[in-house]
Amino acid sequence: MNYIEEVQKIKREKNAIVLAHSYQNIEIDSVADYVGDSLFLSQKAKETNADIIVFAGVYFMAQTAKILNPDKKVILPNIKKAGCEMADMIDLQQLREFKNKYPDIPVICYINSTAEVKSECDICCTSSNAVEIVASLKAPKVLFVPDKNLGRWVEKQLGNVEVITYDGYCPIHNNFAPAGIKETRFKHSDAIVLAHPECREEFLDEADFVGSTTGIMNYVKNSNDNKFIIATEQGVVDRLKRDYPSKQFYNIYDKPSLCQSMKLNTITDIYNALKDETPEIKVDDDTAQKAIKCINRMLEVSK
């Protein structure tokens, strides 16, 4: 069976689309309607006229798509395993305790958070728009959950806002150390270092450019440089190598950095999910009605 052809056929028959994050296995792109970062995929989820959305990503992404599309069927092929370690670092009770320590301060949640957490935050953000979102609140202090590294980077970019961060992080990006840049730069001295803002502050201080998944890809696209050290998940590196074969790309420590949850999906999984229309994402109405305000407020600022 040609699963790519079968997926395309079922999508037409069922008026379905496939949204894929840039950290997914690169072969997923052959059946995806849109591939990109969390902001882009949230925008596409809100705009779609499809009846079924298959999300090739992790749980919080599919939840966001469902919240934006309560009347559509949203499917996550590997629902039991496709979690996000960062999102799991804070639950609703922990958020409430954090807020109680700092009353009357607006709360921003990174999109890497559950629907329940989003339901009690003022606004959501992604790494693409975090600086813009924090600035839009025009507040001297903000609470930022769950990613301490992104929050600290935003604070440094703005310079006039105190960003009080929760102690969460992405294990992949948090694992990068300044020694990794120095070691890799020693081997590739003429390469430009591009890093994701989920990395630690001391690591970002050593990078030549800091940006989201899309920001990194756009930097490469527009750059006259030909050699890059990429400090983010391997899916970005794979797509850069495919899209810019004349340029050279290196990993920190010259080894891939893999998010195992993001690597679960195969084209066969997407075929089975479309065929059976399972497993379906559900978000209870009360949580969804609260969370959508947080998400929509972000989308309004990021138009």
120-176 pLDDT per residue, tens: 999 999 999 999 999 999 999 999 999 999 999 999 999 999 999 999 999 999 999
Are 244 and 197 part of one and the same domain? Answer: yes
What does the alpha-carbon distance between residue 273 and residue 150 come to, in Å, rounded to a whole number? 33
Given strand 162-165, what is the order of strands in its sheet? 123-125, 107-110, 141-145, 162-165
In a domain, 157, yes or no: yes
234 within a domain of the structure (yes/no): yes
Strand partners, 20: 35, 56
Of the three residues 110, 143, 170, the one that is the final residue of a domain is: 170
Rounded CA gap, 160 and 164, in Å? Answer: 13
CA 204 to chain CA centroid, Å, is 18
For residue 69, give every residue at least 6 positions away whose Cβ sits within 8 Å of its Cβ, in sequence order, or none.
45, 46, 48, 53
Q: Is residue 125 part of a domain?
A: yes
The verdict on 141 and 196 lying in the same domain is no
3-class secondary structure, 145: strand
Using one digit for the tens of pLDDT, what is the confidence trace for 54-79?
A: 999 999 999 999 999 999 999 999 98
Question: Which CATH number fits the domain that encloses residue 25?
Answer: 3.40.50.10800
| Strand ranges for the chain from DSSP E | 16-21, 34-36, 52-56, 73-75, 107-110, 123-125, 141-145, 162-165, 192-195, 209-210, 227-231, 248-251
Where does the pLDDT of residue 39 fall: very low under 50, low under 70, confident under 90, or very high at 90 and above?
confident
User: Does residue 190 lie within any of the structural domains?
Assistant: yes
The parent domain of residue 197 ranges over 176-256
Both 159 and 209 in one domain: the answer is: no
Predicted model pTM: 0.95
Q: Is the domain of 243 the same as that of 270?
A: no
Q: Give the number of domains in the chain.
A: 3
Q: 194 and 152 in one domain? A: no
Does 48 map to a domain? yes
In eight-state DSSP terms, residue 73 is: E
